[in-house]
Amino acid sequence: MIIIPAVDIKNGKCVRLKQGRMNEETIFSSNPVEMAQKWAATGAELIHVVDLNGAIQKQPQNTETIRQIVSSINTPVQVGGGIRTLSTIEMYLDMGVDRVVLGTEAIRHPEKVVEFCSKFPGKIVVGIDAKKGMVAVEGWTETTSVTAIDLAKQFENTGVAAINFTDIHRDGMQTGPNIQATQALAEAVSIPVVASGGVSTIKDIENLLSVASSGIVGVICGRALYEGTLNLSTAIALTKKTI
């Protein structure tokens, strides 16, 4: 299981939101590129970049900042937020992005995701964000009647590289990840699952590691790293010990 630092970009700044609410942000840096460089230098094996403006506007809004991140580090980068079209995916992959994360498209047009997976093998990640087990879309502003597990099962054997699973109620709240829901999702599908939302301390990493054999391959960490309640080097070292 790997530790994946998050760099969330809003209006060109590195921020963290609470439960995805755009009006409840904490600005941690005016330079997202420097933050990505910091996490890369610390030993991160993957950086998770989110274009928050893009998620709301339904198309990329912080492209130049993301381009600078990708060109300034050797660590693989995955990008989500506002990715809806083939041309946007091609733009990011041509830029050097390792993987793109599709969220709203996965539930609105699952057939497109299958098409994209065929065209870009190993490059498509499905982001499943849930409120009380139900999938939320459009930058988390709309909750659907589809369960996270049912949506995940639609992408079995399609070539999806991974599923990023976020419990929205825990995101940015540092209340601990939803271990039970994450484990249940990982056990329900053969696709590798990345946990997200609620990580606060090294104990949360230990708890996830205890169920990692269910198919949890990574955990995205944001606010805990920025506020210092979780040390990236320590967390990475812990995951290496369990191998």
Domain ranges of the chain: 2-241
- The answer to whether residue 8 is catalytic is yes
Q: Report the helix count and the strand count for the chain, using DSSP H and E.
A: 11, 12
51 catalytic residue (yes or no) = no
Note down pLDDT in tens along the chain; length 243 residues.
999 999 999 999 988 776 556 666 788 888 999 999 999 999 999 999 999 999 889 899 999 999 999 999 999 999 999 999 999 999 999 999 999 999 888 888 999 999 999 999 999 999 998 888 888 876 556 788 889 999 999 999 999 999 999 887 665 556 788 899 999 999 999 999 999 988 999 999 999 999 999 999 999 999 999 999 999 999 999 999 854
pLDDT at 189: 97
CA distance linking residue 213 with residue 20, whole number of Å: 29
Q: Which of 98, 129, 171, 204 is catalytic?
A: 129
DSSP single-letter state for residue 213? G
Residue 108's pLDDT is 87
- What pLDDT sits at residue 138? 64
User: According to CATH, what is the number of the domain 2-241?
Assistant: 3.20.20.70
- Which three-class secondary structure state does DSSP give residue 84? coil
What single-letter DSSP state applies at residue 122? T
For residue 67, the model assigns a pLDDT of: 98
The pTM of the full predicted model, rounded to 2 decimals, is 0.92
Burial 90-127 (b: 16+ CB within 10 A, else e): ebbeeeebbbbbbbbbbbeebeebbebbeebeebbbbb
